[in-house]
Structure 1
Amino acid sequence: MYKVLYRKYRPRVFADVVGQPQVTVTLKNELTRGRISHAYLFTGSRGTGKTTCARILSRAVNCLNPVVGDPCGECEVCKGLEEGSMLDVVEIDAASNNGVESVRSIVEESVFTPANTKYRVYIIDEVHMLSNAAFNALLKTLEEPPAHVIFILATTEVHKLMPTILSRCQRFDFHRIAPEPMAERLGQVAELEGAELEPDAALLIARVSDGALRDALSLLDQCLGRERHITLDIVCDTAGLASREYLGQLAEAVAARDSAAALEIIDRLHRDSKDLSRLCVELAEYFRGLMLCKIMKDPGALLQSVGEERRELQRLSGSMGLGTVLHSLDVLEGTLNKLRLGNQRTQFEMALVRLCSPQLDSTPESLVRRIEALESGIALQPPREPVVVKGASFTDTGPTEPIPAEAVLEPVQAPEEPPAPEQASPAPPAKKPTSDPSLEELIANAQRFPAWPDILRQLDAGSKSMAMSFEGSSAYISGEYMLIDAPEIAFELLKRSDQRARLREAITRVTGRPYKLGPYRKPQAKAQEDPMDELVRRAKESGVPVVEE
């Protein structure tokens, strides 16, 4: 009968266990020094070697000729335990034997000495599944077992164990296995099987397995059923993964805000029977790589990618802002929960449309992304025509020359009113000044405008990003002018005609009249006059002779 790879190549000694030196080195040292505990607790995620280490430990404590803490594998005890002919090592699945009666039978059997070995070993897998009554029945024996009994408890959910159980065991935590050592082990197994495994394919298997070597060996076994030369494409097809090329194309569509291209890619992947839930996970992982490239100078092992894929990530990260990457991660993580409840394709397509059209999303992350685009000069709408402003020329990409302090935005003319009926002796209309007052004169006569928050609320209803750019601002009225004291990003927005029209509309709604717009510059305090200069001036005015040095 065919034996699957994870059973065929199960480690026989501690040195063969991959990625758990904090466990194997400690156990070997304790066995070498004869410091054998009566109860062990192995905890960690699935496929990391808990049951394997428990079996190695059970053979090592009973081996007739141990080799530096490892079982020799040649004596009759090692062979008998390996073949299952000796009954002094008992493995119990707590998921199916979780009642108090099963534990009571263990307690009753533990009194008897082992028949062929030195220790009677009880390996209880998934121990967190035991009932409270079963735990209570085990407590006393677990605390003070007979000298010939060793308990090895294994669990993936240590938080479900009672504190009284934890305090009676020597605990060992198994970590998720890193991709690099796992890929190396997969290459060794493939070589022993007479197959060829490409390094990139081995790394992808390790990454998909999420730190579980058993899962990785199962996927490798499945790939070997298709080809003896395993490439990256074979792994993707076997595991139902999207090619990394498709992930890059989706990320580029998000960066370019091309919804149509993103939907075409999703349709192609759906027709190829790709699992959209897995695709969502992979795309989130891809954007995580972009985030690491944006934040860290050298992501190193955190990026979990090599060669051309890493270069593509670094290239694409340069064309996307951090706000875009974080917004994409937030949307994809939220979509994962929705995929379990609704139509997967529709939910995933909606997520990509929101990523490609941030103006359709009202979440804070989307607003940050849009503000980031404004700050970096990336227009969210098609470019507008240049706007001519008194004293300076403005375009969507910024001023063509420095803005002088006297620059005042040109007003929007109020609608013309029909002429009033002629009277008998109409008063001659007063002539308007031919030139606008200077900015200093306007600021000197300006008065604070208390209804400015109402105008900002009007802006918030129409454009949250614009309202946020005016955060902490204030306004002043000086004749026909409204002078605005705001951050520089607000004036960058006002260079665009559509944004100025939006602000004027909000002002008209609140005040009932149009205003000319201009910047407010706080007047600088005059330098304090030297008292000695004042004294000299008065002396000269009174005719007193003054000798100046």
Structure 2
Amino acid sequence: MYQALYRKYRPQTFSDLSGQNHVTVTLKNQMVDGRISHAYLFTGSRGTGKTSCAKILSKAVNCLSPVEGDPCNSCENCVGIDNGSILDVVEIDAASNNGVDNIRDLRERVEYTPANGKYRVYIIDEVHMLSTGAFNALLKTLEEPPAHVIFILATTEVHKLPATILSRCQRFDFNRITSEATKERLQYVCEKEQLTITDDGALLIARLSDGAMRDALSLLDLCAGIDTNITEAIVSSAAGLAGRDYLYDIAKNIKEGNAGGLLTIADKLYGASFDMERLCDELISLFRNLMILKTVKEPQAIIVCTAMELDKLKETAREFNLTVILHSLLLLEGCKDGMKKGASPRIMLETALIKLCMPELDNSTEALLRRITELEHALKTGGPVAVNIQSTVPPSQEIPGPETETAPPPPAVIRQETGEKEITPFRQWPEVMSELSKRAKVIYSVLHGSDAYVKGNLLLIDSKNSQFRDLIKGDSNHREAIRKALLVVTGKEYRLGPYIPTETTPKPAEEDPMGELADKLKSIGATVL
């Protein structure tokens, strides 16, 4: 009968455990020195080797010919423990045996001496599932068990264990297995199974498994059923990563504010029996990847996807700013929580999609920050700012009149006005000078102490330095540096020219520090002479 790969290649010695050297080295040294504890606690995420390590430990303490702390796997005891013929090793599933009566029965059995080995080993898996009464019943036996009994507790949720249990065990934390360690193990299994796997394919399986070796071997088993030559494309197809263009279509419609397009896509997916909660999860994953792309220098080390999909994600990330991404994440997370309480997950998701298109409908702080960010960006770049004006008086409550004059509707778009012909002082010149200090040190030093005026899209520079005109005329790089600094600060492009003073040109008001001090003194009742 065919045996699943994760069962067939279950580690048989401490050395076979991948990525848990901090655990295996300690346990091997304890076996060699004979310092065996009466109770162990193995904790960590799923698929990291907790149960496998417990079985290896149970063989090591009963092995007739141990090899440097490892079980030999060939003696009578090792073989008997593997095939289940020796009953000195008992594995208990706490999820289904979590009552007080189950633990009382265990307490009665621990008094019996082992039949074949040196120790009776009790492996209690998912120990956090025990009831409070069961924990209390186990407490005394766990504290002072018979000399021939060893308890090994395994759990994925150590925070649920009482402190009284934790204090009586030697605790070992199992880390998530790194992608490189998983990749090496996959290549070893493929070599034994006469399969071929590419480096990209093995690395993608490792990333998809999220540090769980069991999940990685299960996915490898699935890929082997498709083709013996396992590539990145086959892994992507087996894991369901292919054919997710609808997510990018949703992101595109969110960017464009097309609520109708979003509801159409949701309706098509719903008609194809697509689970709305799963769609919400995939959207959360999409925006999480966009957030990473916006904040991490090497996102490919964190994001689990193919190289082709990473390019799509990068292209999509360019269309969004971080404020929109964070607002989308929080809104979708709230939608997912609401799906568990609401009557219709479809309506919950459709409502969230509309709010993503129209943040003015969402009264959360994140939605407000998103709108402010978009407004600032539009004003900075000189682009249009959409204004959604809603009447505060419902149509049914309008006051009729004999000759009601209909006021013209307000403009739907506000644009930054340009093209003024009078010369006015350029108030942002200090910010431009600050930007020039980073970009062009030479022209910054020449323009130090200068002023600027604006006339439409013409910027007039008033510099007392006689070298200014020669530098501007002689080298186009200096002119380009000033234009770039203006673009960064104002978001607009200006033509440049020298300032020629006239009588009508307003001068920037110079503040008199003594006058300001006198005003302050008068405000507090002091006499100023």
Cross-structure match for 1:404? 424
Distance verdict in 2 for CA 1:297–1:149, change over 3 Å = same
**Superposed displacement of residue 365, structure 1:** 1.4
Unaligned runs of at least 5 residues, structure 1: 383-393, 408-491, 493-521, 530-549
Cross-structure match for 2:439? none
In structure 1, the residue corresponding to 2:27 is in which secondary structure?
Answer: helix
Cross-structure match for 2:360? 359
Cross-structure match for 2:63? 63
Q: 1:381 and 2:386 equivalent?
A: yes
Distance verdict in 2 for CA 1:236–1:144, change over 3 Å = same
In structure 2, the residue corresponding to 1:177 is in which secondary structure?
Answer: coil
**Superposed displacement of residue 348, structure 1:** 2.7
Do the aligned residues in 1 keep the contact of 2:113 with 2:120 (CA within 8 Å)? Answer: yes
Distance verdict in 2 for CA 1:138–1:361, change over 3 Å = closer
Question: Which of 1 and 2 has greater Rg?
Answer: 1
Which deviates further from its counterpart, 62-71 or 297-306? 297-306
In structure 1, the residue corresponding to 2:424 is in which secondary structure?
Answer: coil
Cross-structure match for 2:120? 120
Cross-structure match for 1:18? 18
Q: Which amino acid aligns with 1:294?
A: K
In structure 2, the residue corresponding to 1:352 is in which secondary structure?
Answer: helix
Residues 335-374 of structure 1 mapped to structure 2, 5 A cutoff: 335-340=335-340, 341-374=342-375
**Superposed displacement of residue 272, structure 1:** 5.1
Do the aligned residues in 2 keep the contact of 1:242 with 1:274 (CA within 8 Å)? Answer: no
Residues 419-438 of structure 1 mapped to structure 2, 5 A cutoff: none
Do the aligned residues in 2 keep the contact of 1:284 with 1:333 (CA within 8 Å)? Answer: yes
Cross-structure match for 2:81? 81
Task: Report the TM-score when normalising by structure 2.
Answer: 0.67
Cross-structure match for 1:148? 148
Cross-structure match for 1:483? none
Question: What percentage of residue pairs aligned between the two structures are identical?
Answer: 55
Do the aligned residues in 1 keep the contact of 2:300 with 2:310 (CA within 8 Å)? Answer: no
Cross-structure match for 1:167? 167
**Superposed displacement of residue 166, structure 1:** 1.0
Distance verdict in 2 for CA 1:278–1:177, change over 3 Å = farther
Distance verdict in 2 for CA 1:361–1:106, change over 3 Å = closer
Alpha-carbon distance in structure 2 between the residues aligned to 1:348 and 1:260 = 14
Do the aligned residues in 2 keep the contact of 1:14 with 1:70 (CA within 8 Å)? Answer: yes
Q: Which amino acid aligns with 1:528?
A: M
Cross-structure match for 1:48? 48
Do the aligned residues in 2 keep the contact of 1:186 with 1:217 (CA within 8 Å)? Answer: yes
Alpha-carbon distance in structure 1 between the residues aligned to 2:423 and 2:178 = 56
Do the aligned residues in 2 keep the contact of 1:241 with 1:275 (CA within 8 Å)? Answer: no
- Deviations along 1:445-472, whole A, 9 cap, x unmatched? xxxxxxxxxxxxxxxxxxxxxxxxxxxx
Distance verdict in 2 for CA 1:63–1:213, change over 3 Å = same
- Deviations along 1:46-92, whole A, 9 cap, x unmatched? 32221111001111122222233221212222111111111111111
Q: Which amino acid aligns with 2:386?
A: Q
Do the aligned residues in 2 keep the contact of 1:370 with 1:380 (CA within 8 Å)? Answer: no
Distance verdict in 2 for CA 1:367–1:184, change over 3 Å = farther
Q: Which amino acid aligns with 2:512?
A: K
Task: Report the TM-score when normalising by structure 1.
Answer: 0.65
Distance verdict in 2 for CA 1:141–1:369, change over 3 Å = same
Distance verdict in 2 for CA 1:248–1:400, change over 3 Å = farther
Alpha-carbon distance in structure 2 between the residues aligned to 1:403 and 1:84 = 94
In structure 2, the residue corresponding to 1:56 is in which secondary structure?
Answer: helix
Distance verdict in 2 for CA 1:145–1:257, change over 3 Å = same
Do the aligned residues in 1 keep the contact of 2:323 with 2:369 (CA within 8 Å)? Answer: yes
Which deviates further from its counterpart, 76-85 or 267-276? 267-276
- Deviations along 1:200-254, whole A, 9 cap, x unmatched? 5555555554443333433443444444455666556655556354433433332
Unaligned runs of at least 5 residues, structure 2: 388-412, 428-489, 491-507, 516-529
Distance verdict in 2 for CA 1:397–1:198, change over 3 Å = farther
Alpha-carbon distance in structure 1 between the residues aligned to 2:72 and 2:363 = 66
Distance verdict in 2 for CA 1:207–1:286, change over 3 Å = farther
Cross-structure match for 1:528? 514
In structure 1, the residue corresponding to 2:302 is in which secondary structure?
Answer: helix
**Superposed displacement of residue 27, structure 1:** 1.9
- Deviations along 1:377-434, whole A, 9 cap, x unmatched? 253439xxxxxxxxxxx98357467983699xxxxxxxxxxxxxxxxxxxxxxxxxxx
In structure 2, the residue corresponding to 1:303 is in which secondary structure?
Answer: coil
Q: Which amino acid aligns with 1:351?
A: A
**Superposed displacement of residue 28, structure 1:** 2.4
Alpha-carbon distance in structure 1 between the residues aligned to 2:91 and 2:320 = 54
Alpha-carbon distance in structure 2 between the residues aligned to 1:355 and 1:280 = 13
CA RMSD of aligned residues (A): 3.5
Q: Which amino acid aligns with 1:313?
A: L
Do the aligned residues in 2 keep the contact of 1:139 with 1:164 (CA within 8 Å)? Answer: yes
Do the aligned residues in 1 keep the contact of 2:71 with 2:78 (CA within 8 Å)? Answer: yes
Alpha-carbon distance in structure 1 between the residues aligned to 2:202 and 2:355 = 35
Do the aligned residues in 1 keep the contact of 2:385 with 2:415 (CA within 8 Å)? Answer: no
Distance verdict in 2 for CA 1:199–1:375, change over 3 Å = farther
Do the aligned residues in 2 keep the contact of 1:94 with 1:127 (CA within 8 Å)? Answer: yes
Q: 1:72 and 2:72 equivalent?
A: yes
Distance verdict in 2 for CA 1:191–1:54, change over 3 Å = same
Do the aligned residues in 2 keep the contact of 1:241 with 1:279 (CA within 8 Å)? Answer: no
**Superposed displacement of residue 198, structure 1:** 5.4
Alpha-carbon distance in structure 1 between the residues aligned to 2:418 and 2:189 = 64
Alpha-carbon distance in structure 2 between the residues aligned to 1:250 and 1:201 = 28
Q: 1:288 and 2:288 equivalent?
A: yes
Alpha-carbon distance in structure 2 between the residues aligned to 1:110 and 1:150 = 10
Alpha-carbon distance in structure 1 between the residues aligned to 2:139 and 2:236 = 48
Do the aligned residues in 2 keep the contact of 1:241 with 1:274 (CA within 8 Å)? Answer: no
Q: Which amino acid aligns with 1:381?
A: A
Cross-structure match for 1:449? none
Alpha-carbon distance in structure 1 between the residues aligned to 2:190 and 2:348 = 39
Alpha-carbon distance in structure 2 between the residues aligned to 1:233 and 1:21 = 33
Distance verdict in 2 for CA 1:247–1:234, change over 3 Å = farther
Distance verdict in 2 for CA 1:35–1:178, change over 3 Å = same
Alpha-carbon distance in structure 1 between the residues aligned to 2:233 and 2:272 = 14
Alpha-carbon distance in structure 2 between the residues aligned to 1:188 and 1:124 = 31
